[in-house]
């Protein structure tokens, strides 16, 4: 019962009691699902989608959907969702954060909310912390979705846009937060709608939500293109910042990866650039160039935060220690 107290944003006991009532209904459907042939069970997806087309809601079909997923999991993986996992699936469906201990089957829980929210034909995103887990879970849990007639997609670092389009056309797509994030940014830069790889944002399940939405939130996703003028400015700032002194010209917090100039440091930079007001730049780019030069000089260390291969700077993922191809 300890898991019940781990459902965040639940408020008082009323939502939990409602979940327990639904669980009773799901359990009552188990004999019916067990009696179905593989073909009949797989056809449940068609039947549930028809009910949605006729005006029923996802909450209306939730008991049958969860019961179908449970039975499909038993037949493909040999794993049966326990009552506590059914409650976890409902919490995810309702947009809540469900904290589960290691061994309580959180990966299996995601199949419940993932399947249910893919029924309307939307693309559900399953967000993981690294490529390995995305690949593992798409192959492992993908058996459940595929048994029920759904398609499963997988995003991996280094894929071309042409490779990603069919992955997003699937009912459920596994990938890392950075892959989903960068694809979203790139989709907003294309000149033609048919060049976009994603097909909307209806529902996402985030694994290790504290790591992805808190820890990794310190690492911004930025897409940029280099220009000759920008390169020249970077060189100017790169030549200036080594002369700045810590606690005199700038303040720095290495743990938080933050750095900023003091008034004295700003005046020194403006003097060396021969300008009166760095922040008076109409383009607004000069303060950013200064900030990036400071970070490159004092916060980021070669062979720790980045490596240089064949003259190209490549970022090292601080959480996995792997080189992040395509990231600059």
Taking every pair of C-alpha atoms in the chain, what is the biggest distance, in angstroms? 82
Domain end point (choices 105, 120, 135): 120
Return the percentage of the chain with pLDDT > 90, whole number: 59
Instruction: Note whether 149 and 46 are same-domain residues.
Output: no
Decide which of 321 and 127 is more confident: 127
Q: DSSP letters along 181-233, please?
A: HHHHHHHTT-SSGGG-------EEEETTHHIIIIIGGGS--------HHHHHH
Question: Could you tell me if 250 and 260 are in contact, meaning their C-beta atoms sit under 8 angstroms apart?
Answer: yes
Asked if residue 113 belongs to a domain, the reply is yes
Asked if residue 76 belongs to a domain, the reply is yes
Rounded CA-CA distance 127/204 in Å is 7
Residue 304 dihedral angles phi and psi, to the nearest 5°: -120, -60
- Domain, as residue range, for 116: 1-120
Q: Is the pLDDT of residue 290 over 70?
A: yes
Residue 247 dihedral angles phi and psi, to the nearest 5°: 65, 0
Residue 252 dihedral angles phi and psi, to the nearest 5°: -145, 140
Cα angle 16, 10, 7 (rounded to 5 degrees) comes to 85
Residues whose CB falls within 8 Å of the CB of residue 77, separated by 6 or more in sequence, listed in order:
108, 140, 143, 144
Asked if residue 322 belongs to a domain, the reply is no
Residues whose CB falls within 8 Å of the CB of residue 247, separated by 6 or more in sequence, listed in order:
none
pLDDT digits (tens, 9 = 90+) for 86-102: 999 999 999 998 887 77
Question: Could you tell me if 103 and 66 are in contact, meaning their C-beta atoms sit under 8 angstroms apart?
Answer: no
Instruction: Note whether 189 and 148 are same-domain residues.
Output: yes
Query: What pLDDT, on the 0 to 100 scale, is given for residue 9?
Result: 47
CATH number at residue 84: 3.40.50.300
Asked if residue 323 belongs to a domain, the reply is no
pTM (2 d.p.): 0.69
CB atoms within 10 A of CB 6: 16
Decide which of 224 and 106 is more confident: 106
Asked if residue 213 belongs to a domain, the reply is yes
pLDDT digits (tens, 9 = 90+) for 18-67: 999 999 999 999 999 999 999 999 999 999 999 999 999 999 999 999 99
Instruction: Please count the structural domains in the chain.
Output: 3
Q: Is the pLDDT of residue 166 over 50?
A: yes
Question: Could you tell me if 102 and 79 are in contact, meaning their C-beta atoms sit under 8 angstroms apart?
Answer: no
Rounded CA-CA distance 17/21 in Å is 6
Domain end point (choices 174, 203, 223): 223
Asked if residue 288 belongs to a domain, the reply is yes
Residue appearing with tokens 């042939």: 37
Show the tokens assigned to 29: 């459907």
pLDDT digits (tens, 9 = 90+) for 118-165: 999 999 999 998 899 999 999 999 999 999 999 999 999 889 999 999
Region of 99 on the Ramachandran plot (φ > 0 left; ψ -120 to 50 alpha; else beta): beta
Buried b (16+ CB within 10 A) or exposed e, 213-252: eeebeebeeeeeeeeeeeeebeebbeebbeebeeeebbeb
Asked if residue 326 belongs to a domain, the reply is no
């Amino acid at each position: 019962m300890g898991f019940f107290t781990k459902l965040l944003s639940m408020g008082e006991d009323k939502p939990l009691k409602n979940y327990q009532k639904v669980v009773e209904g799901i359990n009552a459907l188990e004999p019916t699902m067990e009696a179905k042939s593989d073909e009949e069970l797989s056809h449940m997806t068609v039947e549930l989608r028809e009910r949605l087309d006729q005006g029923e809601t996802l909450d209306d079909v939730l008991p049958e959907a969860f019961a179908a997923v449970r039975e499909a999991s038993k037949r493909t993986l040999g794993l049966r969702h326990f009552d506590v996992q059914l409650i976890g699936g409902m919490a995810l469906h309702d947009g809540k954060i469900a904290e589960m201990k290691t061994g309580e089957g959180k990966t299996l829980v995601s199949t419940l909310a993932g399947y249910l929210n893919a029924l309307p034909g939307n693309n559900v995103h399953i967000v993981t912390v690294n490529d390995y887990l995305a690949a593992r879970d798409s192959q492992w849990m993908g058996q459940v979705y595929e048994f029920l007639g759904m398609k499963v997609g997988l995003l991996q670092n280094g894929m071309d846009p042409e490779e990603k389009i069919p992955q997003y056309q699937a009912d459920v797509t596994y990938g890392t937060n950075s892959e989903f994030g960068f694809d979203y940014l790139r989709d907003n830069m294309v000149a033609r709608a048919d060049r976009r790889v994603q097909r909307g944002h209806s529902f996402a399940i985030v694994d290790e939500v504290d790591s992805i939405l808190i820890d990794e939130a310190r690492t911004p996703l930025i897409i940029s293109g280099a220009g000759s003028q920008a390169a020249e400015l970077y060189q100017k700032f790169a030549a200036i910042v080594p002369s700045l002194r810590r606690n005199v010209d700038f303040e720095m917090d290495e743990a938080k990866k933050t750095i900023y100039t003091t008034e004295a440091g700003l005046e020194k930079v403006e003097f060396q650039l021969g300008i009166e007001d760095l922040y008076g730049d109409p383009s607004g780019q000069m303060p950013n160039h200064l900030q990036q030069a400071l970070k490159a000089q004092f916060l980021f260390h070669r062979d720790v935060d980045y490596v240089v291969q064949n003259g190209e700077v490549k970022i090292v993922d601080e959480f996995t220690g792997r080189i992040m191809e395509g990231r600059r």
